[in-house]
């Protein structure tokens, strides 16, 4: 008995009972449909979070000073002075996996213009920092290399600062504001980025040359951090390794000693953020999986009834030469066909439902081929698993008794 013949027999038997077949498939259709829809919604929200994160700079790497001991005392991070300008310069000049680099030295204080003032943060950076973080200048320009070289008192301000200091709609570019006691000339205004996922206002800041913050505001010789971006997301790990090697050499760390710096990539942040939505997806999928199992039990039930109902047919088939395994295969194929056909309809309905959700509720959705393939595999497994017992029963029938069955 070859497979094609068995397949034809099973198909024929199913087509004799179309409506019942459809009702049987319904459980699988609903199960698979909900799996596809749920995963589409789950994946969609995950993707939208990832997109938000990559807006912050997807290949961003942040280097901060780390643990340092002095005479056995572990220093607070703010007091650690291990990151120097030379580290920044070496990373910029020698790392081949890094494209953009900027040191960061921050200060916070009060920005004042005329009668208006606001508390804000000053970020001492290079021009590249704006590209790393995805900031764009709306009016005016960024400060120049010359400005960095001369520790010029120039700044690029965020929209929130502009709104507070220039409530009358004055043109801010070219105006001089004060930060603390130091006057800064505004050379550019940033395009608004809004709040980030964590609810932080990304426009409440000023960018100034890092040399200015180091020399004129903080009077320090060390950096609070270095921010850079890898040439692409995939090379983040190589970039981190490269940076680590340079820093260890610069800091003259012997083998076996702890790093005195920390390197974190945006990837870590991103995986942290997406783990929540992953868990949601898992929960949704679990609920959907339960409905698939219920669908499978439905198939088993119908196949069981079908075997009893077709006892005579089974007896006939055996009397004309069907072996036990031919009967077993026939009923297994029937069960699998039912569940896979249910799977196909379910996938189609699931995709339609996902798009309906997208259009009506404007949820972000994302349909992965993985979930579709998984659905088919699961359906086949369900068909075989739940079809096995009834098929086994059919194949073990005694042909003499089966023929007499009324």
Partner 1 sequence: MGKEVIKLEDIKRDFKVGSEVVHALRGVSFSIMEGEFVTIMGSSGSGKSTLLNTLGCLDTPTYGEYYLDGVAVRTMNKDQRATLRNRKIGFVFQNYTLLPKTTAIENVELPLLYNPKYSRKERYDMSVEALKAVGLGDRLEHKSNQMSGGQMQRVAIARALVNNPAVILADEATGNLDTRTSFEVLVLFQKLHSEGRTIIFVTHNPEIAMYSTRTITLKDGRVISDEYNGKILDAAQALASLPVEKE
Q: Is 233 in the site for partner 1 (CB under 8 A)?
A: no
Give whichever of 203 and 334 is closer to partner 1, judged by the CB atom. Answer: 334
Give whichever of 77 and 325 is closer to partner 1, judged by the CB atom. Answer: 325
Give whichever of 237 and 326 is closer to partner 1, judged by the CB atom. Answer: 326
Residue 324 beta carbon to partner 1: minimum distance, rounded to whole angstroms: 6
Residues binding partner 1: what is the number (CB under 8 A)? 24
Give whichever of 4 and 198 is closer to partner 1, judged by the CB atom. Answer: 4
Alpha carbon dihedral 342, 344, 345, 347, in 10-degree steps, equals 120
Give every CB contact of residue 126 below 8 A, 6+ residues apart in sequence.
101, 102, 103, 148, 209, 210
Q: Is 18 in the site for partner 1 (CB under 8 A)?
A: no
Given the structure tokens 């205004």, which residue do they identify?
189
Q: Which stretch binds partner 1 (CB under 8 A): 3-11, 31-39, 198-206, 377-385?
A: 3-11
Give every CB contact of residue 32 below 8 A, 6+ residues apart in sequence.
292, 342, 343, 345, 346, 347, 350, 375, 378, 379
Among 326, 348, 358, 380, binds partner 1 (CB under 8 A): 326
Q: How many CB atoms neighbour CB 5 within 10 A?
A: 11
Pair of tokens at residue 275: 């783990």
Give whichever of 17 and 121 is closer to partner 1, judged by the CB atom. Answer: 17
Residues 295-324 that bind partner 1 (CB under 8 A): 312-313, 315-324
Given the structure tokens 């950076």, which residue do they identify?
125
Residue 389 beta carbon to partner 1: minimum distance, rounded to whole angstroms: 20
Counting beta carbons within 10 angstroms of the beta carbon of residue 286, is it exposed (0 to 12), middle (13 to 18) or buried (19 or more)? Answer: exposed
Q: Is 105 in the site for partner 1 (CB under 8 A)?
A: no
Can you tell me the distance from the alpha carbon of 28 to that of 19, in angstroms, rounded to the nearest whole number?
A: 15
Residue 329 beta carbon to partner 1: minimum distance, rounded to whole angstroms: 12
Residue 338 beta carbon to partner 1: minimum distance, rounded to whole angstroms: 18
Residue 396 beta carbon to partner 1: minimum distance, rounded to whole angstroms: 10
Residues 381-400 that bind partner 1 (CB under 8 A): 399-400
Can you tell me the distance from the alpha carbon of 324 to that of 397, in angstroms, rounded to the nearest whole number?
A: 8
Question: Mapping DSSP to helix (H, G, I), strand (E, B) and coil, where does residue 120 land?
Answer: strand
Give whichever of 12 and 264 is closer to partner 1, judged by the CB atom. Answer: 12
Q: Is 109 in the site for partner 1 (CB under 8 A)?
A: no
Q: Is 2 in the site for partner 1 (CB under 8 A)?
A: yes
- Buried (b) or exposed (e) across 177-214, using 16+ Cβ within 10 A? bebeeeebebbbbbebbeeeeeeeebbbbbbbbbbbbb
**Residue of 399, 245, 405, 212 lying closest to 315 (CA atoms):** 399
Q: Is 77 in the site for partner 1 (CB under 8 A)?
A: no
Give whichever of 229 and 311 is closer to partner 1, judged by the CB atom. Answer: 311
Q: Which residues bind partner 1 (CB under 8 A)?
A: 1-2, 5, 8-9, 12, 16, 312-313, 315-326, 399-400, 403
């Amino acid at each position: 008995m070859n497979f094609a013949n068995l397949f034809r027999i099973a198909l024929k038997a199913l087509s004799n009972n179309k409506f019942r077949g459809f009702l049987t498939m319904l459980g699988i259709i609903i199960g698979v449909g909900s799996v596809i829809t749920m995963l589409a919604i789950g994946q969609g929200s995950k993707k939208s979070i990832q997109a938000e994160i990559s807006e912050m700079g997807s290949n961003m790497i942040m280097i901060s000073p780390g643990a340092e001991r002095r005479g056995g005392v572990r220093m607070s991070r703010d007091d650690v002075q291990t990151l120097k300008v030379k580290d920044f310069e070496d990373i910029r000049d020698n790392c081949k996996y890094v494209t953009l680099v900027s040191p960061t030295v921050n200060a916070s204080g009060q920005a004042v213009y005329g009668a208006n003032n606001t508390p804000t943060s000053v970020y001492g950076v290079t021009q590249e920092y704006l590209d790393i973080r995805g900031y764009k200048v709306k009016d005016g320009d960024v400060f120049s290399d010359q400005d960095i070289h001369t520790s010029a008192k120039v700044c690029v301000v965020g929209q929130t600062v502009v709104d507070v200091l220039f409530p009358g709609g004055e043109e801010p570019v070219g105006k001089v504001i004060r930060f603390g006691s130091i006057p800064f000339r505004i050379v550019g205004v940033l395009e608004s980025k809004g709040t980030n996922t964590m609810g932080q206002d990304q426009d409440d800041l000023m960018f100034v040359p890092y040399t200015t913050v180091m020399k004129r505001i903080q009077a320090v010789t060390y950096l609070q951090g270095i921010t850079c971006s890898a040439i692409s997301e995939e090379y983040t790990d190589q970039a981190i390794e490269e940076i680590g090697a340079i820093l260890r050499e610069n800091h003259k760390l012997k083998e076996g000693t702890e790093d005195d710096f920390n390197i974190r990539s945006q990837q870590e942040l991103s995986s942290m953020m997406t783990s929540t939505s992953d868990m949601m997806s898992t929960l949704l999928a679990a609920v959907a999986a339960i409905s698939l199992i219920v669908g499978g039990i439905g198939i088993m039930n119908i196949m069981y009834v079908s075997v009893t109902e077709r006892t005579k047919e089974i007896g006939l088939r055996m009397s004309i030469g069907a072996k036990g395994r031919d009967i077993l295969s026939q009923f297994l194929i029937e069960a699998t066909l039912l569940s896979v056909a249910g799977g196909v309809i379910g996938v189609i309905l699931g995709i339609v439902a996902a798009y309906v959700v997208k259009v009506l509720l404007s949820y972000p959705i994302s349909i992965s081929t993985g979930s579709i393939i998984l659905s088919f595999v699961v359906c086949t497994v369900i068909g075989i698993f739940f079809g096995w017992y009834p098929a086994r029963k059919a194949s073990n029938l005694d042909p003499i008794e089966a023929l007499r069955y009324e």
